[in-house]
Chains A and B, each alone.
Chain A
């Protein structure tokens, strides 16, 4: 109904209809009309005109008889499929067939990984560990794995610190008291924080621990996966079924050989049926088929792993700063949900803060990131406090009480310890540069002046910049 017609009928309605008996037959008001004012679109639009046909789709061939400029042929090349570009960007390449095999490179093994002699040497990663690390997404696309024949790591000083921690946990495991060690890996940009986390995970895999890695905290909190409030939780927690299911499948793939050894001993009440004689790997894999039950399955798996006689656990997270702020999810009353209210994050943070201990011992590692991380004043302050406490427990910096701080962050990092990653020493730098040269990626004689030059260019041995100066941006 057109607007003018609407108006007319509206006015007409207010008049005495008896006075217009004569025109009643012609009047539009002869039939009772309802909903004079409607905001819905008119359904009976004019029929499409004959000549109006939609333009041809992109890439479709049409007859073009025009001359001159307009007659240029359309670009008929195939566009990348959805997700193809992202896959390209996120692709992890772990080998380079053009690089040379380094004859002196030795693999790490379960027996040799804890040895002190490894310090300052480049060691190869065994195939199984590489697969496991790939499964838990420990390799990052920005790291230089694609330059070499196969993945190898430098056992630097900080790596040996973490190896010491692993030894400590395993030694304590023999006694009654199990140890849970918690560390935050900090350092400058490109100094190898994520790589150090990867090295720790490597040690965990080699020592037959259960390794659970959250590859990037940003993926949990940036609201890219579905979420739902966890029933019966007070205060409300939120589960992320898709993410948890993916995490469980990663755990099952990476820790398959370890989890297969253990049968389910408790009787978890899950919304999905459990096969009889189910081992832990099968339990974790249930979540692949039933993502909606992934959180109860995760809890059940965790309970199983907490039973006595199970291996120690290594928990890792990268880019931890994203966990220490409000997430991008919104609650039912349109308020941002704090990241610590997400079930997975809460689970991790409880272990990082020491609120819950790992029953069979283990290590909780959180790596910060220098490139893509929000500034969290509470986190930075906690790291400063932790470092000052190590030097002098009496003299620790105090938070300025006139500035706002996220108290949950400060509480969670109250008594954390910090592993500060510094630059390589010159000996370590020489080892790694010799590895570059032996891989055929560096055409130079590795002498002391050369190493010193690269070490200085890399800002006193920052390994990311050392790689840039020696391998990536060579002239």
Chain B
């Protein structure tokens, strides 16, 4: 198979323009066709070596010099002669002779001074990395890195993990204690810093909410009159949590945290400006806390707890009631349902059940 460069030359010289290509206007350009002919000189790793190699090519015996300044007729004649010569060379006998002579490749327009396939081979093609799938292919030659004694990639992965673990262990042992030098004592937020911003770091990982910024502030921390405060709560809508009295805003509209924080700051200032505007105080609008469901905590009733005092009280009460019951029973005041029914039923004397005696048979 001819090389790519060779095919370009064939295309430019041999293909007939009247023959329409089979697939006209290819939908996609092949990568190497985008810049088929570059004016830049090719760079080779062994530029010095290459020069003497190309020298004998120019002295090829079949080198046919191209005369300059031809008229139209001479040009046509020359073309016809070339064609005849080419066709003669295509004949099988001639080819056999050429093979016997050791000539490879067909000579042709000499103005390129490259007549054999080898001349068209580029260094970059031979040294090209075709990736994993081309490794070990016979045409690519032997793999220089692999001698059949390496770990598998999984093994390398394990090793890498182990290395990382050691790395972090070293950091934990040597560098983390130094962080305590950077620790600052906690200071309560002052009245001038009512806003609490929250940023999220995913430790260098990319995450969709890296740029998100959240701000929380209590409606009571901002110096407002009661009417203004209620207006702020009403304007905040579902961002207000009535259990904690905290308004929470967040923003992830923009790509960076700073932009989002800026947006939040602007929003808060707009909100506060609106709240302080006393044109409409929103006093006719009731608070809407439908978004909030307070959590109900059930606690064991205090009265039910069995404290020692209560145990004692219950014991005493039981004893007292038992005593009262006993007294009532002795006095005959205790109501007993069974006895009541027995007394109410009419008293019946126990009668002897009559025994049936078989009557003697009457004799006839």
Contacts and interface: CB of A to CB of B under 8 A. Distances in A.
Interface majority SS on B: helix, strand, loop or mixed?
helix
Contacts of A442: 337
A434 B335 contact: yes
Given A401-B286, A438-B335, A448 B340 contact: no
A447 B344 contact: no
Contact of A100 (B286, B338, B340): B340
Nearest to B337: A437
Contact of B338 (A438, A441, A444, A447): A444
Interface string A430-468: 000010111011111111100000000000000000000
Interface residues of A, number: 17
Contacts of A437: 335-337, 340
A397 B325 CA distance: 47
Contact of A445 (B288, B318, B321, B338): B338
A37 interface: no
B324 interface: yes
B325 A447 contact: yes
Interface string B155-176: 0000000000000000000000
B286 A446 contact: no
Interface of B: 286, 288, 290, 318, 321-322, 324-325, 334-338, 340-341, 344
A152 B288 CA distance: 53
Contacts of A447: 325, 334
A445 B337 contact: yes
A402 B288 contact: yes
Closest 9 CB pairs of A and B: A437-B337, A448-B321, A401-B286, A443-B337, A434-B335, A445-B336, A442-B337, A437-B335, A446-B335
A440 B337 contact: yes
A22 B251 CA distance: 96
Nearest to A434: B335
Contacts of A438: 335, 337, 340
A97 to B, nearest CB: 13
Contacts of B321: 448
Given A442-B337, A443-B337, A446-B337, 10 more contacts: A436-B337, A437-B337, A443-B341, A444-B337, A445-B338, A446-B334, A446-B335, A447-B325, A447-B334, A448-B325
9 contacts: A400-B290, A436-B337, A444-B336, A444-B338, A445-B334, A445-B336, A446-B337, A448-B324, A448-B325
Contacts of A436: 337
A436 B337 CA distance: 8
Nearest to A435: B335
Contacts of B338: 443-445
Interface string A395-430: 000001110000000000000000000000000000
A95 to B, nearest CB: 16
Contacts of B286: 401-402
A445 B337 CA distance: 6
A446 B288 CA distance: 56
Contacts of A444: 336-338
A100 B341 contact: yes
Interface in A28-78: none
Contact of B322 (A400, A434, A446, A448): A448
A434 B337 CA distance: 8
A442 B336 CA distance: 9
Most chain A beta-carbon contacts within 10 A, residue among B318, B334, B340: B340
A100 B335 CA distance: 14
A125 B318 CA distance: 35
A445 B288 CA distance: 59
Nearest to A399: B286
Contacts of B290: 400, 402
